[in-house]
């Protein structure tokens, strides 16, 4: 069964990962969501070095994507000292000499932006071979999006499922029989620490309970723990989504879907942490965090490696550039029930956002 001890976590953090194995991506279209900084940026550079037919960077604004693709950008691994310790990263084009890079805008906290992005992408592109959903936020306070969802829940989970499903038809029409398209959702080992309480499980709708402001507002110890553990929960939901999606694809489907753990890395993820959490994260990262480039290697491995062994990656949890077991809860009978329940509840919510979502689920996925 999948377990993760703190000592085991530390051991993997200090264990260097193998370098990225170059793959032939000629003629292929690669999409990295959340590519302007951090893990997505480093992964995009690795993909650019493999010379795909086209590399598309999806960022909150087109300007951020263009900045990553064509100019020098600033990135701050130590967020607490960001104003005095910038690390300058050379842009993808300058580092890789790869020219065919596009930037597209999508705001993952706005469902209509996700729908519009997917509609335009499917209309303008004739294929999608590698898709990496790297974007995410980590908030310890309850904030609402314009769609009236708790922000972490929407950006990390609902938008991930919405965008992935809306892009499914394009990924499944890839014309190359020798190249299985891949969809990679960036999860995390923190899903091992996620807790769904008996009270939450007893609620009529888990997703609505997670979203409920009263449930998430700090009025006491239980509610305080809700938002302090929200990022962990969102990563558990990522793992559930990948496993359920993979189980609903036909057995002969060319699409490989997996979830990947990059480990604890220097990135902008904890930029919203408040003191004293921000101070703790700064010290902890300084001691054990991987470089951003190192953390990007599992993403690229999940998206390109193990060719001719794709069956091992169907619905897999990838960690340290290999297939590992997810948490005990994910593997349990109760976890399987929660996985299906969350799929159904999320699908119901997203069907209201886009009629295409339900049409794609009905056409391409089993019940």
Cβ 104 vs Cβ 62: under 8 Å: yes
- Superfamily of 6-364 according to CATH: NAD(P)-binding Rossmann-like Domain (3.40.50.720)
- Matching residue, tokens 């490989």: 256
Q: What pLDDT is attached to residue 18?
A: 87
| Chain CA centroid to CA 150, Å | 17
| Rounded (10°) CA dihedral 239, 245, 247, 250 | -150
Question: Which of 321, 25, 2, 28 has the alpha carbon at shortest distance from 192?
Answer: 2
| E strand or H helix that includes residue 200 | helix 198-201
Query: Which residues neighbour 208 within 8 Å (Cβ) at sequence distance 6 or greater?
Result: 345
Q: What pLDDT is attached to residue 25?
A: 95
Query: From CA 186, how far away is CA 168, in angstroms rounded?
Result: 17
Tokens of 120: 């335009």
**Please, what are the averages of pLDDT over each run of 10 residues along the chain (367 residues)?**
61 77 94 88 95 93 61 42 32 88 93 97 96 89 94 97 98 82 96 94 97 80 71 97 97 94 71 57 64 92 88 93 94 98 98 96 92
Task: Decide: helix, strand or coil at residue 261.
Answer: strand
Transcribe 162-191 into DSSP letters. Answer: HHHHHHHHHHHT---TTS--EEEEE--GGG
Half-sphere exposure of 28 (CA within 13 A, CB side): 25
Q: What pLDDT is attached to residue 273?
A: 55
| E strand or H helix that includes residue 351 | helix 333-353
Q: What pLDDT is attached to residue 80?
A: 36
Helices 159-172 & 333-353 angle (0-180, nearest 10): 80
Q: What pLDDT is attached to residue 159?
A: 98
Q: What pLDDT is attached to residue 209?
A: 96
Query: Which residues neighbour 336 within 8 Å (Cβ) at sequence distance 6 or greater?
Result: none
Query: Which residues neighbour 188 within 8 Å (Cβ) at sequence distance 6 or greater?
Result: 231, 232, 235, 238, 261, 262
Query: Which residues neighbour 69 within 8 Å (Cβ) at sequence distance 6 or greater?
Result: 57, 91, 92, 93, 101, 102, 103
Phi, psi of 220 (to 5 degrees): 175, 180
């Amino acid at each position: 069964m999948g377990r993760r001890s703190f000592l085991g976590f530390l051991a993997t953090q200090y264990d260097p990962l193998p370098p990225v194995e170059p793959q032939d991506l000629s003629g292929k279209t690669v999409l990295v969501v959340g590519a302007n900084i951090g893990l997505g940026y480093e992964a995009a550079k690795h993909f650019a070095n493999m010379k795909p037919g086209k590399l598309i960077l999806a960022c909150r604004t087109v300007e951020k994507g263009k900045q990553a693709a064509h100019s020098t950008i600033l990135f701050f691994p130590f967020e607490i000292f960001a104003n005095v310790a910038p690390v300058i990263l050379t842009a993808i084009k300058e580092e890789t000499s790869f020219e065919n890079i596009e930037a597209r805008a999508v705001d993952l906290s706005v469902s209509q932006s996700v729908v519009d992005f997917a509609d335009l992408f499917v209309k303008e592109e004739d294929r999608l071979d590698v898709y990496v959903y790297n974007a995410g936020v980590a908030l310890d306070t309850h904030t609402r999006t314009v769609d009236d969802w708790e922000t972490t829940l929407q950006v990390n989970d609902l938008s991930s499922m919405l965008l992935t499903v809306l892009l499914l038809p394009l990924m499944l029409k890839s014309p190359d029989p020798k190249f299985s398209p891949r969809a990679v959702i960036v999860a995390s080992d923190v899903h091992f620490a996620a807790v769904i309480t008996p009270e939450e499980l007893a609620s009529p709708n888990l997703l609505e309970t997670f979203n409920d402001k009263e449930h998430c507002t700090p009025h006491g110890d239980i509610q305080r723990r809700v938002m302090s553990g929200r990022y962990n929960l969102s990563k558990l939901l990522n793992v559930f989504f990948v496993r359920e999606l993979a189980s609903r694809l036909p057995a002969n489907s060319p699409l490989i879907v997996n979830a990947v753990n990059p480990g604890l890395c220097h990135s902008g993820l904890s930029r919203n942490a408040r003191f004293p959490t921000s101070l703790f994260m700064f010290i902890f990262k300084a001691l054990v965090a991987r470089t951003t480039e190192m953390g990007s290697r599992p993403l690229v491995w999940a998206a390109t490696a193990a060719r001719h062994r794709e069956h091992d990656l169907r619905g897999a949890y990838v960690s340290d550039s290999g297939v590992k077991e997810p948490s005990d809860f994910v593997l349990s009978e109760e976890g399987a029930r929660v996985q299906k329940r969350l799929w159904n509840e999320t699908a119901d919510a997203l069907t209201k956002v886009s009629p295409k979502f339900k049409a794609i689920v009905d056409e391409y996925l089993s019940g």
